[in-house]
Amino acid sequence: MNHQMPKHKNQIVPNPKPWGSIRSSLHSLIAVLVATLLVGTVYLTQEYAVQFLEDSTSSTVVRTTGYSCNLFSGKWVFDNQSYPLYKGLQCTYMSDQLACEKFGRKDLSFQNWRWQPHQCNLSRFNATALLERLRNKRVVYVGDSLNRNQWVSMVCLIESAVPAEHKSMHTNGSLTTFKATEYNATVEFYWAPLLVESNSDHPVNHRIPERIVRVQAIEKHARHWSDADFLVFNSYLWWRRSMMSVLWGSFESSNGIYKDVKMPSIKVEGYWENSSDLKMMRVVENVLGELKTRGLDVQMLNITQLSQYRKEGHPSIYRKQWDVLTEEQLTNPSSFADCIHWCLPGVPDVWNELLYAYIFQ
């Protein structure tokens, strides 16, 4: 499915419509996001068209110099001359959860792999060019710690191109903002692990044994990012459970109705391993096709398969441990190893390179 970018090159006028006029469309979009376990990037244009980087089986193409190229059909190539794109120990805003080298990882070859599409080349990431394209704009990553992983990657990719006196990082509740003042551009992260309102929304204290989501409750979060120019959604990890408690009503009211809802199975063996359900992805395609008929144009890009090649890119034991490890844990490293997030520099940089390619197509 091809999607034409807006003709204006360097500036995208923020959507002039009020939040209420697009609320119903975004309700549908959020429902698709949280129900289908996506890792996704959404780009809202003036015409309310949307581009979407996510887990999909679609063969999405990008047009380059007169021909189409599937950026997601390719292979990983070892390249220690031009990769990594930045030095992890030199990134001002690196997270200790992702700083594998800082916490003792000696084999750094995981940083030297480049994604090579079969039919074309990815444009090399140019932080200055991207910041210019983002001048006077907001990029907001919305989701859980995996989405924060990609946000930290993007900040590390661009922050070295900004002098110290012209960049800042500020946290206000669930929203953390990196700002390049010279460009009046922000790259932000908003903690909303289930996208809709939930009992896990506190930006720090969100380790809750039983997670509860509130039905059709998006406005509380969306008011913080409804005027963004680029939105990156992620909600995958938190829906990987057999049951989810759902609330009809308000968390503040004693009259709410709670119901345990069985979640779809996401255990599929084979190349896609046990973390992706191909049938669900096809359902996503059908639902997003229906959204297009309602004026919300969504383009799906496949980052799942290329990421699943890279198991060695996870932090494992090489990260900050937020809790003191017990003697029993120390004798069994697999009990505290992180095989969900990604070391930086690493795989999420490629996710952002793919986003970069679509921004500049």
State the catalytic residues: 145, 338, 341
- Residue in this structure with the two tokens 């710690």, named with its chain if needed: 145
Question: Could you write out the DSSP letters of every residue in 225-256?
Answer: TTT-SEEEEE-TGGG-SSEEEEEES-TT-TT-
Q: Distance between CA atoms of 145 and 58, rounded to whole angstroms?
A: 25
Tokens for 122, please give them.
Answer: 């990815």
Three-class DSSP category at 189: strand
Q: Distance between CA atoms of 260 and 245, rounded to whole angstroms?
A: 4
Three-class DSSP category at 308: helix
Determine how many CB atoms are found less than 10 A away from the CB of residue 179. 18
Task: Yes or no: say if 23 and 30 are a contact pair by the CB < 8 Å rule.
Answer: no
DSSP-derived letter for residue 330 is H
Task: Yes or no: say if 354 and 51 are a contact pair by the CB < 8 Å rule.
Answer: no
Q: Distance between CA atoms of 153 and 193, rounded to whole angstroms?
A: 18
DSSP-derived letter for residue 125 is P
Question: Could you write out the DSSP letters of every residue in 199-225?
Answer: TT--SS----SS-EEETT--HHHHTTT
Tokens for 187, please give them.
Answer: 């790259």
Q: Which phi and psi angles does 140 have, rounded to 5°?
A: -125, 120
